[in-house]
Amino acid sequence: MRELTVGPDTVVLGIETSCDETAAAIVMGGTDIVSSVVSSQIDLHAEFGGVVPEIASRAHLEMLNPVVARAIVEAGVDESRIDAIACTIGPGLIGALLVGVSGAKAYSLAWDVPFVGVNHLEAHLYSALLEDPSLELPLVVLLVSGGHTMLVEMRDHGAYRLLGQTIDDAAGEAFDKVARFLGLGYPGGPAIDAVALHGDPEAIRFPRAVPEGLDFSFSGLKTAVVNYVRAHPDVSSADVAASFQAAVVDVLVTKARRAAREIGATGIALGGGVAANSLLREELLGACAEDGIRGFLPSRAMCTDNAAMIASCGWYRLRSDGATPLDVGALPNLRLPLLAS
Amino acid sequence: MGGALGAPRGGDGGVAMLILGIETATDQVGVALSAGGAVVASFEVARGRRHAETLAPAIEFVCRQAEVRLDELAVVAVDVGPGLFTGMRVGLATATSLAQALRIPMIGRSSLDLLAFPCRHADRVVVPVIDARKGEVFWAMYRQVPGGVQRVVEPTVGSVDDLVADLLARSEEVLLVGDGADRYLEEIQQGYRCESIDGARPSAVPLVQLAHAQALREDWVNPREIEPIYLRPPDAQISWVTRRERP
Ligand SMILES: [Zn+2]
């Protein structure tokens, strides 16, 4: 394999297949997104109200090569300009991850360029930096998605501390379950976001569960919604959705700003699918302005799963740790690498 | 990338045509390399680490030992199943991505073909049987023809009872082969008198042999035309547990 000095001209092809998006992107120098292609499988899973692993894996296999081809065409670069292949190795659905990892290794072999395995959670942290490289560390990243709800202190590249996380359901999971209960469809996040626009967020005062420290809990809230609707069958779904969303956002923003105060962060960045929620974006910006710190909202495309964040994170990992051996497998339960303290 | 396929390298005269074969449809991982139809290297492992960990290093090893650079390949051949879905996809994603990146054509063969071909000198109908888990098997039937075998029953999935019923309906002398035959031999033999070859798995060696004959006829496809043979609809179980584990 040819020697690679990682620098501002280094072109990384990123590949992401950990859940229900097949994505490929070309990123130069770690932050310059040259192309980013995402093929979503939402329609395939909608009738099941959640991601079906085998359906996801089949669709990834079908879409992987076309999506990579399109990312290269849209980038307008010759594939000989690609210096490295970065790919999500975990966490995620094992069968889905394996499609991307296998393809990525094959591209690495065929083009004789390094392969670098990327932690999907770490890549979400980079999605904030990708669109605003002027952000200064330390930063609090509120990572909220269908599988995760975490507050992470990003001290430096590769140096993270977990400040708090959910002790039961992830925020996105609560959105999906409540949306399903209200018959609003799948995925729950956008469905509730849309319906809530027509409802009164103060119509119902749902409980704000506040476990110790900076942790979260959403299962009680979900139960409260179910109990309330059963007791008040004529309640407007829009009011329930708006009041539920207000409760989730309230808890997320309160804890995020407390976290920022505790570590003296320069700002708070959002990441993960739930970061596309309109109310969360609005409230977080307001809170940051009040506290005199920066609030950073990546574009919705960068919040949800994409390969630009994988390529970006891959560039940093390659620069600090070098290539990943080709005998690495997919790691469905991979965790965020954390500092000891 | 994409676009029309050129003629494979080494297709005519001079240089021997190089074909890489990838096989991951059962619990075995196999890679073979042929030059002008002769198998010049092969790697096979039936236990230990899983497909995804083993396959790419195996391709690298086989090519390096045979002193072949990947950009010299003319065709990538792959086992398209039926078999264990996750393993199959490791081979398929690897093979199609290699072919796409190298801009070379592909040849896909069924795992059942790969089991039947080595039995081309047998004197009876060959029935490859692959373990499909969940109490089911994949099977097909082949008859000997000059130089090889010809499929007479298309790949099917069903219970062991379904297989026995199919054998009874045809009532021919058969030879069973494959991990499904190994696992359910007693059960099958209770319903139908037959013999089996023990321990056979679909292998990358017959894959490159079959692919070479096909490549001589230019009977190949674009990587995007390679279709896995699943034979079973996806299991539509969603679980909040698996969902929780993902970001
Ligand atoms: Zn994600």
Give tens-digit pLDDT for A42-61.
888 888 877 899 999 999 99
Helices (H), chain B: 51-65, 85-102, 111-116, 160-170, 179-191, 204-216, 240-244
Give distance in angstroms: CA of A273 to centre of ligand 1. Answer: 7
| Residue A2 predicted with pLDDT over 80 | no
Residue from A93, A101, A107, A109 whose CB has the most chain B CBs within 10 Å, to mutate: A109
Q: Which strands, in side-by-side order, build the sheet including A139-144?
A: A159-165, A149-156, A139-144, A267-271, A294-296
Mean pLDDT estimate for chain A: 93
Tell me what pLDDT residue A3 has.
Answer: 64
According to the per-residue pLDDT averaged within each range, which of A133-147, A313-327, B229-243 is highest?
A313-327
Minimal C-alpha gap between B23 and chain A (Å): 13
Determine the residue of chain B that is closest to A145 in CA distance.
B247
Q: How far is the CA of B247 from the centre of ligand 1 (A)?
A: 4
CATH class label, A11-125+303-321: alpha beta
The mean-pLDDT minimum among A193-197, A210-214, A324-328, B65-69 falls in A210-214
Asked if A93 and B54 come within 8 Å (Cβ–Cβ), the reply is no
CA geometry: angle A264, A270, A276, nearest 5 deg: 160
CA of A303 to the centre of ligand 1 (A): 8
Give the C-alpha separation, A65 to A99, whole Å.
10
Confidence check: pLDDT of B202 > 50: yes
Report yes or no: A91 and A61 within 8 Å, Cβ to Cβ.
Answer: no
Residue A3 or residue B155, greater confidence: B155
pLDDT at B183 over 80: yes
DSSP-derived pairing of the beta strands A149-156 and A159-165: antiparallel
pLDDT over 70 at B247, yes or no: no
Nearest CA in chain A to B69: A110
Contact yes or no for B238 and A48 at CB 8 A: yes
Q: Which fold has domain A137-301?
A: Nucleotidyltransferase; domain 5 (3.30.420)
What domains, with CATH codes, occur in chain B? 4-110+202-231 (3.30.420.40), 112-197 (3.30.420.40)
Q: Do A65 and B97 touch (CB under 8 A)?
A: yes
Mutate to test the interface with A, among B86, B97, B240 (most CBs of A within 10 A): B97
Of B90, B91, B245, the CB nearest to A332: B245
Q: How many helices (H) and strands (E) does chain B have?
A: 7, 10
Instruction: Write the pLDDT tens digit of every residue in A163-208.
Output: 999 999 999 999 999 999 999 988 899 999 999 999 999 999 999 9
Question: Ligand 1 centroid to A187 CA: how many Å?
Answer: 14
Residues of A in contact with B240 (CB under 8 A): 50, 173
- Give the minimum alpha-carbon distance from B77 to chain A in angstroms, rounded to a whole number: 14
The per-residue pLDDT for range A100-144, each reduced to its tens digit, is 999 999 999 999 999 999 999 999 998 878 888 788 889 999 999
pLDDT computed for residue B245 by the predictor: 43
Q: Across the interface, do B238 and A51 touch by the CB < 8 Å criterion?
A: yes
Nearest to B98 among A61, A68, A106 (CB): A106
Among A69, A170, A328, the residue with its CB nearest the CB of B244 is: A170
Q: How far apart are CA B184 and CA B191, in angstroms?
A: 11
pLDDT at B94 over 50: yes
What is the tens place of the pLDDT at every residue in A14-46? 999 999 999 999 999 999 999 999 999 888 888
**Chain A residues within 8 A of B58 when measuring between CB atoms:** none
> Rounded to a whole number, what is the distance in Å from the CA of B229 to chain A's nearest CA?
11
Beta pairing class for B136-145 and B125-131: antiparallel
Distance from the alpha carbon of residue A177 to the mean position of ligand 1, in angstroms: 18
* Cross-chain residue pair A61–B240, CB shorter than 8 Å: no
Q: How confident is the model at residue B237 (pLDDT cuts 50, 70, 90)?
A: low
Read off the pLDDT band of B1 (50, 70, 90): very low
State the distance from the centre of ligand 1 to the C-alpha of A24, rounded, in angstroms.
14
- Answer yes or no: do A69 and B100 touch at CB < 8 A: yes
Domain definitions of chain A by residue range: 11-125+303-321, 137-301
pLDDT at residue B242 is higher than 60 = no
Q: How far is B212 from chain A (nearest CA, A)?
A: 21
pLDDT beyond 70 at B11: no
pLDDT digits (tens, 9 = 90+) for B27-72: 999 999 999 999 999 999 988 778 999 999 999 999 999 999 999 9
Q: What is the ipTM of this complex?
A: 0.93
Q: Which token pair is A41?
A: 């499988």
Q: What is the pLDDT of residues A90-112, one digit of tens each?
A: 999 999 999 999 999 999 999 99
pLDDT at B241 over 60: no
Nearest CB partner across the interface for B101, out of A107, A120, A173: A107
Choose among A97, A62, A44: nearest CA to B238. A44
pLDDT of B12 > 80? The answer is: no
DSSP secondary-structure letter at B146?
Answer: T
pLDDT for position B3? 39
Q: What's the pLDDT at A142?
A: 96
- Counting one residue from A and one from B, how many pairs have CB atoms under 8 Å apart? 161
Q: How far is the alpha carbon of A103 from chain B, nearest alpha carbon, in Å?
A: 5
- Residue A61 per-residue DSSP state: H
Least confident among A201-215, B33-47, B187-201, B209-223: A201-215
From the list A280, A325, A316, the residue with the least C-alpha distance to A298 is A280
| Gap from A66 CA to chain B (nearest CA, Å) | 8
- Give the closest residue to A187 by CA, choosing from A196, A178, A199: A178
CA B167 to each of CA B113, B184, B208: distance values in angstroms, whole numbers, following the listed order: 18, 14, 30
Contacts of A151 (CB under 8 A, 6+ apart): A140, A141, A142, A143, A162, A163, A164, A165, A214, A255, A256, A259
